[in-house]
């Protein structure tokens, strides 16, 4: 009985201290925050996208239109331009972006579209 009580206490404590994502409502703030997170993900030597690009051998510059929604999910990815990269690399990037999750949330039912330039240099 004591073990069950202790287990419930631990589970409740974890859920109370879990980091909540920030709710951002302004279009400009959403886009600024998304670009800041992508800048961090593209930064050397520790950024998620930087490391992923190094691992996959991605090169070139890709101009991507992104639509994000609600809980920081990427809804759509559309490539506007590609300089010095391959179609295969472009498709890998699109797939990787669809799995990316931003660290903030937006109002329900709203989506935000913006453009970002990914530059991979090996």
∠ CA 81-85-88 to the nearest 5 degrees?
A: 100
Residue-range definition of the domain harbouring residue 36: 21-120
Domain with residue 48: its CATH number is: 3.30.2420
Task: Classify residue 31: in a domain, yes or no.
Answer: yes
Task: Give the helix ranges, DSSP H, for 2-75.
Answer: 2-17, 27-42, 48-56
Looking at the structure of the chain, the number of domains it has is 1
**pLDDT in tens for each of the 122 residues of the chain?**
555 544 444 444 444 445 567 888 899 999 999 999 999 999 999 999 999 999 999 999 999 999 999 999 999 999 999 999 999 999 999 999 999 999 999 999 999 999 999 999 97
Distance, CA of 66 to chain centre: 10
Task: Classify residue 54: in a domain, yes or no.
Answer: yes
Contact between residue 22 and residue 106 where contact means Cβ atoms under 8 Å apart? no
Task: Classify residue 16: in a domain, yes or no.
Answer: no
* Alpha-carbon distance values, 81 to 34, 87, 115, 116 (Å): 20, 11, 11, 11
């Amino acid at each position: 009985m004591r073990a069950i009580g202790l287990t419930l206490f631990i589970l409740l404590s974890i859920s109370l201290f879990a980091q909540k994502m920030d709710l951002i409502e302004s279009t400009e703030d959403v886009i600024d925050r998304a670009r800041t997170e992508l800048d961090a993900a593209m930064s050397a030597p520790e950024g998620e996208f930087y490391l992923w690009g190094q691992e996959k051998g991605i090169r070139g510059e890709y101009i991507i239109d992104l639509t994000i929604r609600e809980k920081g999910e990427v809804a759509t990815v559309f490539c506007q331009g590609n300089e010095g990269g391959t179609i295969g690399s472009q498709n890998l990037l699109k797939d990787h972006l669809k799995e990316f999750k931003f660290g903030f949330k937006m109002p329900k039912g709203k989506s935000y579209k913006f453009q970002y330039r990914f530059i991979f240099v090996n």
